[in-house]
Structure 1
Amino acid sequence: MMGGLLPPSTGSVTLDGEVIWRNEQIYRRIGLVPEREAMYDVVTGWEFVLANARLHRLPDPEAAAHRALETVEMTGAQGRGIATYSKGMKQRIKMATALVHDPPVLLLDEPFNGMDPRQRLQLMDLLVEMGRRGRTVLFSSHILEEVEQIATNIQVMVAGRHAASGDFREIRRLMTERPHQYTIRSDDDRALAAAIMAEGACPGCG
């Protein structure tokens, strides 16, 4: 919905006050990296990024494509077919296409999937630097380590519903303070109860 690919079931999604759905002009301001790995494997990395630059009708698409590939450190492999890329390399080439038109907003769905440790750190540093320069970077991740190192504002979704907001420490505190409920099953309930009471582990039981 935030990328303009699906209509919201209720309400609206806007960017700087403009509705995103069915607004082609808004795509000039959004860079999208989808989680799905499917790509145009019959072309090279250079051809793929250059095609995106041309679709955006940039004044100098070749220069823009080279700049984007350099940013994600893929110039050395730009002449190879995408079919030969590792998963991490495909992630970086998708990142280049998202950056080629220099959008102020980036939407990244699990952007670190398949990357080796060096690639992961390089992309983390890149996203942090982009944020410092004023770009809005919104990414999804189920790995808390990634979130802790990059995000300044966290939104937690549970089963498709918004569960919490805040910085990393606030979210951690909510997770720690959340009450836990344990279920213990036994073949001899009386013996189990006696053992628990004997250990003093059941306040109020006596």
Structure 2
Amino acid sequence: MMTQTIRSIAGIAPVSQLNPAATALVLIDFQNEYYDGKLPIPDGLPAARNAARLVAWADRLGMPVFHVQHVGAATGALFAAGSHAGEIHPLLAPAPHHHIVAKDRVASFAGTDLHAQLQGLGINTLIVAGLMTHMCVSTAVREARSFGASSYKVVVAADASATRDISDWNGDVVAHAGLHRATLTALHDNFADVRNTGAILELPVSAN
């Protein structure tokens, strides 16, 4: 039995076309910590490869690209400032014309100037990809919908995002695939369109 999402009940239409001048690609925490550091993500490389496809597409269209980078304390346990673990993965090394936003917490908007930069460019639609789905990606998507009249339409790139296995409160392990799917389903219900990279690349492009 199919059930309606909150978005469909509210009459929110899916994103059907993109204006590159009003759309930004936001890549969250594609950093070495998730590849050869303390938080390895099983599907991290496939996600990065799909994110790289989105970057090439965005660059071709002249769409702004934002790299959100978690910067921890220099002596911190994760994403230590100046460390290899804190660096952006080579597959997604920022180009000179890309924007880099440093954050020091799970949130990508709170405590940063990301919203101000996006507003300054006239951005009203975001394509979001990153690590981890259940943590920083989910938080950023929810934040993006919290600005009232300045809230963003959001498309999450499902296969350009990924997460890891985690232990639950009962001592069991929640597998990464199930956690990823459940998180995307929650976002799809009320906060964003969720599509695979191929479907995003096929969206019509318009100047309107």
> Quick check: TM above 0.5?
no
The TM-score with structure 1 as length reference comes to 0.31
Q: Identify, as 1 or 2, the structure richer in helix.
A: 1
The TM-score with structure 2 as length reference comes to 0.31
Larger Rg: 1
Q: Identify, as 1 or 2, the structure richer in strand.
A: 2
